[in-house]
Amino acid sequence: MLPAVDDARHALLTGLFDHAAMFPPASLPLGEALAEDDRARASEHAWLLGRFVVPKGVTVDDREVAIVGDGVEQQDDVVFVEGRTKIRCGGAHVPSVEEVAAFVRSCREHGRLFKATAGLHHAYPTPAGEHGFLDLLAAVVFGDEEQALRAEPGAFELDEHSFRWNGREAGADACATARATLFHSIGTCSFFEPVAELELLGIL
């Protein structure tokens, strides 16, 4: 489903964060994870929230879920396979900028919709070597993957009019197309941490 296309911010960010509160490092038990997801869904920024992520074998009936097991994630008819259409950006191994860039390019060249997960709590790269989710979005929308993935805090502007970086500008339609055809979502155990960063940046 295409995000709303009359507002570039909504086109780029709607449903971006799949809530994986049951997974590390949060690792909440089901009841607590559902309560945290309820809190996210009741917040003013609930429109950024995607699916609730569960391990294979766990059943949840009152919300849309993403089911993860054996290196595969299923969201209704859409399947993401680790290493092919799903990339881990953190955890036990943090891929280099070159590795992430090559993955994005491969998906673009082969017309594959991909998902990212792990280590994307921050809008921009951190001194500890974590990748930034705004950098990844820019790599998807604008290309120039290595340069986008190295962009430092303050490099991007995003409002209702457009997503802007390095003299380039993408309107709502371009942002919506990038999300619908190339970059599906981010799995994160924390919804409120990336949202707080977007608030601090004045994007929300």
Q: What is the mean pLDDT of each run of 10 residues along the chain (204 residues)?
A: 72 98 96 98 98 97 97 97 97 95 98 97 96 98 97 97 97 97 97 97 97
For residues 63 and 41, give the distance between their C-alpha atoms in angstroms, rounded to a whole number: 10
Cβ-contact 48, 7 below 8 angstroms: no
How much is the pLDDT for 171? 97
**Local structure of residue 124 (DSSP, 8 states):** S
Outline where 113-153 has alpha helix (H).
133-142, 145-149
How much is the pLDDT for 5? 67
Q: Count of CB atoms within 10 A of residue 65's CB?
A: 19
Cβ-contact 147, 158 below 8 angstroms: no
How much is the pLDDT for 125? 97
Assign 114 to helix, strand or coil.
strand
How much is the pLDDT for 6? 86
| Stated pTM of the model | 0.95
For residues 197 and 184, give the distance between their C-alpha atoms in angstroms, rounded to a whole number: 20
For residues 54 and 177, give the distance between their C-alpha atoms in angstroms, rounded to a whole number: 27
Q: How far is CA 9 from CA 61, 77, 142, in A?
A: 30, 27, 15
For residues 149 and 139, give the distance between their C-alpha atoms in angstroms, rounded to a whole number: 6
For residues 187 and 50, give the distance between their C-alpha atoms in angstroms, rounded to a whole number: 9
